[in-house]
Amino acid sequence: MKILGIETSCDETSAAVYDGKKILSNVIFSQVDTHRIYGGVVPEIAAREHLNRLPAVVDEALCKAQLTLKQIDGIAVTYGPGLAGPLIVGVSYAKGLAYAAGKKFTGVNHIEAHLLSPFLENKDFTFPYAGIVVSGGHTNIYIANDFGGYELMASTRDDAAGEAFDKAAKMLGLPYPGGPEVSKAAMKGNHKKIVFPQAQMKDNSMDFSFSGLKTSVLYYIQRNQDKIKSGEVTIEDIAAAFQKTIIRTILNKTAKILKNRKIKTLSIAGGVAANISLKQELKKFSDDRKINFFAPSNLLCTDNGAMIAYVGYERIKRGLLSGMDIEAQPDLKIEIKGHGEEK
């Protein structure tokens, strides 16, 4: 079975083909150059760009997979969560294609796709596992027991990790997109020069909160202009200390979650998982605890059609098809079995 996956939830226009064993193609057109001048993604412009690019991106994905649309068995599309306009473009296009070509069709949850993305490259990756999903809009930790059987162990109360990276970048005068820029700067900095506090939940909850960290960075920059100007403390040092705090927070929550459960596999996915230091520290954390650690390669951490095609494959295999009445759902939640609601 060959599945075409379409992803347009934010600023990556992507289409991919997955055949149940391997990714036959994964074409990603990043709109980052268009949005950079605005310092962030402009939803209306993103939607228009998806509209312009998607047909060619789909053609290229089919071409690279050496398949015609006729040879495709099903079409999967992200229908949420994400930006309304961009989602509507992808969903409408995929519906039209599936209807006109008479293909099986299914809508995919973008966060579920990130959560399951480690399956794409690792034959040894199996349920159950603890999956950290860190993206522009989410900082969630799930325990995935099987396909569709997810427990939400921690989620974000305010800013997501990626959002915090993007906002910190702005404060540090680094260009959009902030995450990769902060991580590049952090490599050259000394995190030990500054200690930013980690947010502690009063109710002992596992949830994340990064808005306090963002404020700490802002105050630090405002109050230490002399040190910054004299070079005693550099932008790189602040970036390193900020990144270290995010990593420590993620490690602490993960440790608490794993302590109470007999889980032997840990994974991380989503855009922030492209952060090399975060991956390295999680690998060490896992080795120390003798648990397996899996992370997708960077191209499969950030938004991509392959993860949508993968979930689409698993859904269509199980007969989980969507009707032509499916609509974009910007606030779509993962269906949770047990433990907590997604916030």
Q: How far is the CB of 226 from ligand KG4 (least distance, A)?
A: 29
For residues 272-311, which are near ligand KG4 according to CB under 6 A?
272, 274-275, 302-303
257 binds, among ligand KG4, Zn ion, none (CB under 5 to 8 A by kind): none
Q: How far is 79 from 9, CA to CA, in rounded Å? A: 8
Considering the complex, what minimum distance in angstroms separates the CB of residue 140 from Zn ion?
A: 12
DSSP run (H or E) holding 78:
strand 74-80
C-beta separation of 290 from 54 below 8 A:
no
Name the residue whose CB lies closest to Zn ion.
Answer: 135
Closest CB to ligand KG4 among 37 and 324? 37
Within 8 A by CB and 6+ apart from 6, the residues are: 14, 15, 54, 58, 75, 76, 77, 78, 90, 93, 94, 305, 308
Q: Binding string, 133-152, against ligand KG4, x = CB under 6 A?
A: --xxx---------------
Between residue 51 and residue 110, which ones bind ligand KG4 under the rule CB under 6 A?
A: none
Return the number of other C-beta atoms located less than 10 Å from residue 337's C-beta: 11
Measured CA angle at 302 (ends 241, 134), to 5 deg: 50
CB nearer ligand KG4, residue 243 or residue 263 = 243
Q: Does 165 bind ligand KG4 (CB under 6 A)?
A: yes
Q: Which is nearer to ligand KG4, 8 or 322 (CB)?
A: 8
Map the footprint of ligand KG4 across residues 170-199, applying CB under 6 A: 177-180, 183
* Gap between the Cα atoms of 283 and 247, Å rounded: 12
Q: Name the nearest CA neighbour of 14 among 104, 93, 102, 128.
A: 93
Q: Pick from Zn ion, ligand KG4, none: which does 296 bind, CB < 5 to 8 A by kind?
A: none
- Out of 135, 216, 243, 286, the residue judged to bind Zn ion by CB under 5 A: 135
Instruction: State which of positions 275-314 bind Zn ion (CB under 5 A).
Output: 303
Q: With 0-12 CB in 10 A as exposed, 13-18 as middle and 19+ as buried, what is 308?
A: buried
* CA distances in angstroms from 193 to 190, 243, 285, 298, 318, listed in the order given: 6, 13, 23, 29, 53
Quick one: which of 166, 207, 237, 342 contacts ligand KG4 (CB under 6 A)?
166
Q: Which does 165 bind (CB under 5 to 8 A by kind): ligand KG4, Zn ion, none?
A: ligand KG4
In the complex with ligand KG4, which residue's Cβ is closer, 198 or 205? Answer: 198
β-pair partners for 133:
140, 269
Q: Of ligand KG4, Zn ion, none, which one sits near residue 272, judging by CB under 5 to 8 A according to partner kind?
A: ligand KG4
How far apart, in whole angstroms, are the C-alpha atoms of residue 190 and residue 172? 15
Q: Rank residues 29 and 285 by Cβ distance to Zn ion and give the closer one.
A: 29
Closer residue to Zn ion in complex, CB, 78/216: 78
Least distance in Å: CB of 99 to ligand KG4? 27
Cα separation, 127 vs 121, whole angstroms: 15
**Closest among 286, 310, 312 to 300, alpha carbons compared:** 310
Query: Where does this chain bind ligand KG4 (CB under 6 A)?
Result: 10, 135-137, 162, 165-166, 177-180, 183, 270-272, 274-275, 302-303
